Structure 1
Amino acid sequence: MIGIIGVAAIMLTLLLTHWLSSQFTKPIKRLVQVMGAYTVGGSMDRLPRDYQNEFGYLFAGYRKQNERIEELYRSLERRYEQQRKAEIEALQANINPHFLYNTLDQLNWMAIANGQAEMSRILELMGRMFRIGLSGGESFIKMEQEILHIESYLEIQQLRWDGGLAYTIEASPEIRELYVPKLTLQPFVENSIVHGFNTRSRGHIWIRMEKLDGDIRITIEDDGVGLKQAADISVKRHTGGYGIRNVKERIDGYFGENYKVKLSEREAGGTCAEITLPILMEPPAADSDNFKINRASLLYKPSS
Structure 2
Amino acid sequence: MRDIVGNHLFSGPEPDPAGDAGHENAPPRVGFFTDTSVCIGCKACEVACKEWNALPEDGLSLTGMSYDNTVGLGASTWRHVAFIEQPVPAGRTELPLLAPDSGKPAAPDSGKQEAGQDDGAGVRWLMSSDVCKHCTHAACLDVCPTGSLFRTEFGTVVVQEDICNGCGYCVPACPYGVIEQRPTDGRAFKCTMCYDRLGAGQEPACAKACPTESIQFGPLDELRERAALRVEQLHDAGVTEARLYGHEPDNGVGGDGAFFLLMDEPEVYGLPPDPVVTTRDLAAMWRHAGIAALSLVTGAALSFALPALTRRSGRT
Normalising to structure 2: TM-score of the pair?
Answer: 0.22
- What TM-score results when the alignment is normalised by the length of structure 1? 0.22
Tell which structure's C-alpha radius of gyration is larger. Answer: 1
Larger fraction in helix: 1
